[in-house]
Amino acid sequence: MVALSQFWIKPRRPQRGPIVGSSLIEVLMAMGILAVVLPLIFAVLARASQSYAEAQAETRCLSILPACMNEIEAAQQGTTRYLPALPCGVLFPAPGTILALAFARDGRLLGCVAPAAYLAGTRRLADEPIRYLASLHTEPAPAQPNMPAMLHLRITLEYPPAAPMAKRRHLDFHTCIP
């Protein structure tokens, strides 16, 4: 008779050592984490870009607003470079029209923007890149006793100028003028 031990072969154990590669679960977890983290990173970058643009606009308004006021004053005196004549106490712009000025990156006044270009968005004026648009609007100010009639002036600083009007970001500034 043959002994059973002759047929019984002892299986060889694999040598223990470092495991090479990744398991399927590890790969799926890594992909899941990337699927959540990447959109968050892109959202943070987009918001940072918006914040940067807002900070630049707020900084540039210190030179843009005085330039707008100087141009309005010059238009009221008839010595304007870019705006049409604006008599004192008369509302502007005329109903149905747009009055907008273009500014360079450094806050330098480039000129008046045509209404069609303002509505659709524009990148250049007189071969110079535009960084900001300033639209001007007036309405009658409430009458005050012992005060001359005033106009409430709203200057809207808008950016980016290449975007259509409805998609631009804006900062509004208000004052009164005679």
The DSSP H or E segment spanning 29 is helix 24-77
In the predicted structure, residue 9 carries a pLDDT above the cut 70: no
Global pTM exceeds 0.85: no
3-state helix, strand, coil in the chain (%, to 5): 35, 20, 40
Where along the chain do its domains lie?
Answer: 29-177
pLDDT tens digit string along 67-111?
999 999 999 898 988 998 888 888 899 888 899 999 999 889 999
Distance CA(131)–CA(108), nearest Å, equals 10
User: What is the DSSP secondary structure assignment for residue 136, as one 8-state letter?
Assistant: E
pLDDT at 141: 87
Residues 6+ apart with CB under 8 A from 77: none
pLDDT at 4: 55
Task: Tell me the residue type at 108.
Answer: R
pLDDT tens digit string along 101-123?
999 998 899 999 999 999 999 99
